[in-house]
Structure 1
Amino acid sequence: MANRVTRNSYKILTRQLSTAFPKCDFKPKTYSGPSFQKTDKIKADHIAPAIFNIYKRPLVLHQGHMQWLFDHDGRRYLDLFGGIVTVSVGHCHPKVSAALHEQIDSLWHVTNIYRHPKIYEYVEKLIAKFPGDLKVVYLVNSGTEANDLALLLAKAYTNSNDVISLQSCYHGYSSTVMGLTATQSYRMPIPVPSGMHHAMLPDPYRGIWGGCRDSISQVKNSCACVGDCVTSDKYVHQLSELLENSVPAGRVAAFFAESIQGVNGAVQFPKGYIKKAAELIKKHGGLFVADEVQTGFGRTGDAFWGFQNHGVQPDIVTLAKGIGNGFPLGAVVTTKAIAEAHTKSSYFNTFGGNPMAAAVGKAVLEVIEEEGLQQNCKDTGRYFLEQLMDLQNSYPVIGDVRGKGLMIGLELVEPGTKQPLNSGDASEILESIKDLGILIGTGGRWRNVLRIKPPMCINKKDVDFAIAVLDQVFNNYKKNK
């Protein structure tokens, strides 16, 4: 019991909140798995040490229902992280679960060298969501795999090797795409493929020129440009300098960018940057690859794909996470011309597009449409941001509130400065939020950003509860400093 909050202390903590825990009629099953102590031992003895506990008092999560998670003691938590932005339509959504059950009882696996109906039904529905010439789909198993394949396609099509991504980005963790990823904590001290370059991050909060972004929340005292931000040209000039100094003339293969940086803590770019950067890359012979692993499927609210918010047409789009609501599924979407370059060699994917994954993916798209989840992201996300901006006015520890739709970040700082909040205090804040019934993510270069990317089915009552929890946690922090 010393390793976790007891049932009674949990109830006392939640009773202290100004807003009641939202009602939920779902009753989880009684937990029958290994004890907390046994999971501790198994983890210590057999789980890779690189997989670390994010909490001092870890949880054993037992069951999920829509926006809720339940631990082995039956305690309920509002999930504001969605399994790292992966649970899109809700934990164990009944329609998605039913589609999987139906498929699993008829056909599990045949690989994509054979035809089966679900892959064709799914691909047809998925491709209808894309504009322009983005008409060819590869189905894979994860975001890392999707970006690895996109990298190969770009190099095959352009016959070039050099690739550019942005500082502090995350595009995956294989030995290849680790070179694309420009976040030090995810870089092993091993050689990565040649030709990987990282352009200056155009960050309105920490960047040298600041800027304004596509959000109702702006950096305090930032510019308020109509249309493109004036700083976008300055950051694009830095990209141009990189191209003209470090890349062989006319030999760039691709520019990879997330529509909003996810692992880096929902960092948005100055308005106009992505479009101008993509145009510059094309002038140098390269392709633009939009990483929609976290921002896709309506999460940003105004558009189904994050790149549409930037007014740009990518050459390749990579998808994963919310595409399968937690089921292993990813995709690469591109043009017929680019896909044709891949025929220089044979290709197959053992599990990509298997019948179960295709059935789940199709059901996820249907739920997003039927339940209006993109609109919910827009409306509930705006409401969430407005409440967080009010909190920011009361608590100097919140240095920046940013985001769009239900892709939100709170950057925590030493009060009165832009210095990242020290890791000890940030960890205590995260722990306190969990103890009051909310699971939330962290990210950013210094792990000082609270990442709010919940299942897209949350509602305003859930937001009110979340704000009450954050208000209490930040108020306690303020009193104790």
Structure 2
Amino acid sequence: MHHPLRRTTVSRLPAVILQRKLATSSSSSKQPPELPPCDFVPDLAESKLGKFEIERIHKLNLNPSLKPYYSEPLLITQGHRQYVWDNKKRRYLDMFGGIVTTSVGHSHPTLLETISRQSRKLWHVSSVYLNEEVHEYAAKLANHFPEPLNNVIFCNSGSEANDIALLMARSFTGAFDVVALRNAYHGCSTSTMPLCGVGVWKFPVPLNFGFTHTACPDPYRGRVGGRFCRDSPVQTNRSCDCKEGGGCAAAEYYAEELEEVLSSTLPKRIAGFFAESIQGVGGTVQYPKGFLQRAYELVKARGGLFISDEVQTGFGRTGEHFWGFQGHGIVPDIVTMAKGIGNGFPLAAVITTQSVASSLTRAMHFNTFGGNPLSSAVGSAVLDIIEAEKLQENSLRVGTLLLRKLAELRDGRFSDIVGDVRGKGLMIGLELMVSKERNHRTAVPMPVEQVNGIFEDCRSMGLIIGKGGPSGNVFRIKPPMCITEADVTFTVDVLKVAFERHYERLARSSQK
């Protein structure tokens, strides 16, 4: 068994390493790469509000917890497919997709036509009436799932979808206790906040009654795991007790942890278990192969329901499958989805069996906007676009290429700061660490201020990415699924330059 990687902070690399890095760099390598060509001509007319006024309103009139990215907040004025433009008419490659939400591309022409056509026909009626759009969409969406998952409940956000799943699990089983993973994120409403295993999402109010967390099965940062554990084109470079092609000892270890939690702290019957297929906000964490299968067995033995959170991993993003849970060889009792379901349109859904869904009839349950005609038309069109443009296949092909190119950064020149590369399809994480002499056993998370420096450099060169992980040191790369190989090359080239600039900042700092 392996010890966890150290979590103390280190401010800078040793000077001898910095000198070696800078001596082997060339001035040309630090020149910003050019964005791939784009033949779209944006409408960049002056906006009604200037940036100064927008920032003033943001400070005075909007939720104060909304903290924009970047030291100089980015004001986005228009988007097209994988690109966005700011108020200065500058183009950016969006490799974060509106937080894993812009699935088929910004302002997709098919969606523009769908919204225009449907809004002229029927914008909204309550679900107390029938309309054809929601029924057509429900049948089409259900056809993307294995039986017996065939009953759809529409809503408006991922938090709300997980709230409904939580309600159904408790109502159907008659039990109350729910288990989730540490490092997980399932929403920030008062009902879903207790499911989250990341402390920054917790408010100091009574939340945790009936919720228990078990160890996060992370082959890179967890207590056990290593280079044979993940179902990914790129494995961690951490040593491993498993044998290539054999069973996963790490999966069994974390399953035993879950079994101990179930037997020591919970009643004989539980309501359910929540898990993302790949953790999103937590830093794109992938579990050891076979862990979710074992977790499924343990949960079912306790009478609980298995709830798969596909808010970020659904709709072909992982490449090999349309849903992330399919890569784990299980059929959940409940699946929740949002984000990419509507390409940014406020839409979410829960799918389950007829028997589990019937638990909602024990009292009144109603959603004014869930599955209204306009949102249903948009959701239906998104499914059509994914199929017509073969975006799942593109996620697999282009995502695998990107993963392997990022792994070359980790295994080559930048091995002392790129600790791990992981993911499937276009659900990718790059974890920044600090290691002395490439010793990954003693690596520690890169300090946030250093991560932010690299993050700002990427933006300055026209690349938008996300951040996550409990230490804030994971770059989340989850773009619209229409990106190209040229976009991959640009992304990697920008990261190379940003890493070189990072070394330069450290060198200047060490000389002071």
Question: Which bin holds the TM-score, normalised by the shorter protein?
Answer: over 0.9
Aligned residues of 1:162 and 1:252 also touching (Cα < 8 A): yes
Q: Given the two structures, how large is their TM-score scaled by the length of structure 2?
A: 0.89
The reply on whether 1:475 has 2:500 as its aligned counterpart is yes
**Which residue of 391, 406, 414 maps to 2:434?**
414
- Cα distance in structure 2, aligned partners of 1:279 and 1:14: 55
Does residue 159 (structure 1) correspond to residue 171 (structure 2)? The answer is no
Deviation at 1:193, TM superposition (A): 5.1
Corresponding residue for residue 213 of structure 1 = 230
Q: How far apart are the structure 2 equivalents of 1:14 and 1:255?
A: 52
Aligned pairs for 1:68-467 within 5 A: 68-192=83-207, 194-211=209-226, 212-223=229-240, 224-226=243-245, 228-249=247-268, 251-393=269-411, 394-395=413-414, 396-416=416-436, 417-467=442-492
Structure-2 separation of matches of 1:38 and 1:447: 30
Corresponding residue for 1:24?
Answer: 38
Shift, 1:114, TM fit: 1.0
1:409 and 1:449 in contact (8 A); partners too: yes
Does structure 2 conserve the Cα–Cα contact (< 8 Å) formed by 1:14 and 1:437? no
> Could you give the per-residue CA deviations for residues 262-304 of structure 1, whole angstroms, max 9, x where no partner exists?
0011100000001110111000110100000000000000000
Distance in 2, matches of 1:234 and 1:392, equals 27
Q: Residues of 2 paired with 1:449 and 1:376: CA distance? A: 24
Distance in 2 (CA, whole Å) between partners of 1:113 and 1:414 is 58
CA distance in 1, matches of 2:364, 2:197: 31
Structure 1 residue 318: Cα displacement:
0.1
Q: Distance in 2 between matches of 1:176 and 1:170?
A: 13
Task: Give how far 1:132 is off.
Answer: 1.9
Tell me the alpha carbon deviations over residues 412-461 of structure 1, each in whole angstroms, 9 at most, x when there is no partner.
11233431111111111111100100111000001110000000000100
Q: Would the aligned equivalents of 2:30 and 2:500 in 1 still touch at CA under 8 Å?
A: no
Aligned match of 1:8 = none
Q: 1:307 to 1:86 in 2, by over 3 A?
A: same
Contact 1:176 1:193 in 2 (8 A): no
Q: In 2, distance between residues paired with 1:222 and 1:292?
A: 30
Scaled by the length of structure 1, what TM-score is found? 0.95
Q: Deviations over 1:114-167 (max 9, x none)?
A: 111110111111000001200100010000000000000000110000000000
Residue 102 of structure 1 aligns to a residue whose secondary structure is helix
CA contact (8 A) 1:324 1:360 kept: yes
Question: Contact (CA 8 Å) 1:254, 1:287: kept in 2 or not?
Answer: yes
Partner residue, 2:16: none
Tell me by how many angstroms 1:20 deviates. Answer: 2.8
Contact between 1:77 and 1:438, CA under 8 Å: does it hold in 2?
Answer: yes
Please name the residue that 1:6 is paired with: none
Q: Which residue of 1 aligns with 2:66?
A: 51
Aligned residues: CA RMSD: 1.5
| Contact residue 64 and residue 92 of structure 1 kept, 8 A | yes
Q: Whole-Å Cα distance in 2 between the matches of residues 239 and 475 of structure 1?
A: 42
Give every structure 1 segment of 4 or more consecutive aligned residues whose post-TM-superposition deviation is greater than 6 Å: 13-16
Distance 2:472 2:167 in 1: 31
2:19 maps to what in 1? none
By how many angstroms is 1:19 displaced?
4.4
Post-superposition offset of 1:53: 2.3
Deviates more, 1:417-426 or 1:276-285: 417-426
Following superposition, the deviation at residue 463 of structure 1 comes to 0.5
Shift of 1:41: 1.1
Alpha-carbon spacing, 1:15–1:235, altered in 2? closer, same or farther (3 Å): closer
- Aligned partners of 1:148, 1:346: CA distance in 2, in Å? 15
Aligned to 2:21: none
1:318 aligned counterpart, secondary structure:
strand
> Does structure 2 conserve the Cα–Cα contact (< 8 Å) formed by 1:227 and 1:271?
no
| Shift of residue 480, structure 1, vs aligned partner | 2.9
SS of the equivalent of 1:256 reads strand
2:350 partner SS: strand
- 1:402 counterpart SS class: strand
Which residue identity does 1:375 align to in structure 2? Answer: E
Q: Secondary structure at the match of 1:413?
A: strand
Matched, 1:41 2:56: yes
Quick one: percent identity of the two aligned structures?
47
- Give the letter for the 1:220 counterpart: N
How many residues align structurally? 468
Give the drift of 1:28: 1.5
Aligned counterparts of 1:14 and 1:197: Cα–Cα separation in 2: 53
Q: 1:290·1:316 contact (CA, 8 Å) conserved in 2?
A: yes
In structure 2, distance between residues paired with 1:60 and 1:448 = 24
How much has 1:73 moved relative to structure 2?
1.1
Paired residue for 1:7? none
Once the two structures are TM-superposed, the CA of residue 52 in structure 1 deviates from its matched residue by 0.9
Distance 2:167 2:390 in 1: 36
* Alpha carbons 1:14, 1:21 under 8 Å: kept: no
